[in-house]
């Protein structure tokens, strides 16, 4: 069915986000309700089917230890398969999930999965291969081209929807840092829950690190660990910087 409703403003996600963060989190005003309605309508056009048997990847910091002799010497080995999936009801705050509700975060590439857990040089990383156990339908929040003009008042009318979906995707892909307030995740958590309650199995979004995409699955049983798990030691992490401001501009 073709989309008949467009977002009323290019910064509709920002308006929704501020309402959730500053005004009313557990109830919706008219504008927030309308935003979610339009988002869900347009999500039907962003459906992406994943076949059963599709391979995804998941990484965890660290590894297990194994005693190898009578002197108690140990070697590091990959975590067991049970450690590579979150425990139900024991989740910390995430971009898509609230505390206590576990979702399965995966990636389409091995390196992407490892970079997403923010390893440091010398750290150990366990990488696991997972297979989708059934066909899934996810909302594709990957937007290939960011609207060329910011601030929002300069975005052309035909780019308004693209601008909103860019912001939605960025809300999921923006790296979580230790200084984040857990309340900052509320807008994307509400959106994820809305997708789940309307029949979607997960969300695909761009990674903030490396190639590939992330796929968060609402059902922990939608994918299972298959094959060998690998233990990596981080040798080098590259970073690139560009200046966006300096003291001379103040």
Residues 179-216: pLDDT tens digits? 556 678 999 999 999 999 999 999 999 988 767 899 99
Looking at residue 210, what is its pLDDT?
Answer: 67
Domains of the chain: total: 1
Site of tokens 């156990």: 133
Residue pair 166/143 in contact (Cβ under 8 Å)? The answer is yes
pTM over cut 0.85 = yes
Looking at residue 1, what is its pLDDT?
Answer: 47
- Whether 52 maps to a domain, the answer reads yes
- Whether 68 maps to a domain, the answer reads yes
- Whether 244 maps to a domain, the answer reads no
- Whether 189 maps to a domain, the answer reads yes
Q: Which residues contact 102 (CB under 8 A, 6 or more apart)?
A: 86, 87, 88, 89, 90, 91, 220
Is residue 14 over pLDDT 50? yes
Is residue 145 over pLDDT 80? no
Looking at residue 5, what is its pLDDT?
Answer: 85
- Whether 5 maps to a domain, the answer reads no
Residues 151-174: pLDDT tens digits? 556 667 778 899 999 999 999 998
- Whether 33 maps to a domain, the answer reads yes
Q: Which residues contact 141 (CB under 8 A, 6 or more apart)?
A: 46, 165, 168, 169, 172, 203, 204, 205, 206
Q: In this predicted model, which residue has the larger pLDDT, 218 or 121? A: 218
Rounded average pLDDT over 8-23: 93
Give me the domain span that covers residue 180.
12-236
Average pLDDT of the chain, as a whole number: 87
Is residue 115 over pLDDT 50? yes
- Whether 30 maps to a domain, the answer reads yes
Q: In this predicted model, which residue has the larger pLDDT, 75 or 138? A: 138
- Whether 1 maps to a domain, the answer reads no
Looking at residue 71, what is its pLDDT?
Answer: 75
Is residue 70 over pLDDT 80? no
Percent of the chain predicted with pLDDT > 90:
60
């Amino acid at each position: 069915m073709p989309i008949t409703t467009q977002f009323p403003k290019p910064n509709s996600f920002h308006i929704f986000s501020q309402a959730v963060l500053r005004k009313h989190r557990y109830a919706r005003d008219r504008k927030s309700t309308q935003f979610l309605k339009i988002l869900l309508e347009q999500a039907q056009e962003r459906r992406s089917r994943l076949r059963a048997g599709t391979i995804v990847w998941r990484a965890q910091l660290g590894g297990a230890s194994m005693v190898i002799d009578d002197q108690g010497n140990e070697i590091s080995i990959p975590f067991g398969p049970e450690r590579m999936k979150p425990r139900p009801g024991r989740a910390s705050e995430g971009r898509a999930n609230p505390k206590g509700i576990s979702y399965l975060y995966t990636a389409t590439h091995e390196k992407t999965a490892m970079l997403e857990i923010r390893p440091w040089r010398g750290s150990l990383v366990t990488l696991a291969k997972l297979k989708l156990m059934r066909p899934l339908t996810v909302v594709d929040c990957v937007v290939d081209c960011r609207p060329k003009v910011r601030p929002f008042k300069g975005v052309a009318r035909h780019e308004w929807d693209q601008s909103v979906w860019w912001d939605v995707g960025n809300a999921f892909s923006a790296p979580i840092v230790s200084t984040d307030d857990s309340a900052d995740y509320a807008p994307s958590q509400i959106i994820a829950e809305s997708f789940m309650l309307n029949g979607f199995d997960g969300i695909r979004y761009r990674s903030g690190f490396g190639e590939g995409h992330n796929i968060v699955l609402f059902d922990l049983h939608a994918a299972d660990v298959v094959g060998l798990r690998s233990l990596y030691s981080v040798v080098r992490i590259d970073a690139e910087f560009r200046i966006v401001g300096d003291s001379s501009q103040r």
